[in-house]
Amino acid sequence: MLDRDRGPEPDYPVSPVPKQARAGRLRAGYPPSVAVDPFAVSETRYRHLVEQRRGGGLDPRSFRAAVRELAVTDGEGRQWILGPEDGGWYRRERDRWIAADPPRRLVCPDCGHHNLPRHSFCVECGRQLNRSA
């Protein structure tokens, strides 16, 4: 099938990740198959923002705005934010934010597969998972 805007439709499977995003991950040093825990990424960025604020590089208003941008949507479509003052996670329930622990997955350090918390070994490659992280 030919579409004027996209060109001919390929007859092979196409990655659901846009080409620009795949290229960005490769440039950033991530192998294309490695999954990243969005909660851990937000927590790392939050700690960096706290250090910037303490060092005088961010005023309180800019800090709060930057923390709001660290919001995460989980696999079930629920919204999560980090509290600017305490760094704790809050989940959106109806019209309120409630303190809660985010759903964590164990990411295999070898293959990057996301495993359920009850797994001791990666279901993809069989490596033992580190539960302390």
Q: How far apart are CA 19 and CA 67, in angstroms?
A: 28
pLDDT value of position 133: 47
pLDDT value of position 68: 93
CB atoms within 10 A of CB 84: 18
Q: How far apart are CA 22 and CA 31, in angstroms?
A: 9
Percent of the chain topping pLDDT 90: 35
Q: Above 90 in pLDDT, residue 61?
A: yes
Q: How far apart are CA 43 and CA 30, in angstroms?
A: 19
pLDDT of 97-114, one tens digit each?
999 988 877 778 788 787
Q: Can you tell me the mean pLDDT for 62-76?
A: 90
Domain positions in the chain are: 32-102, 103-133
pLDDT value of position 114: 78
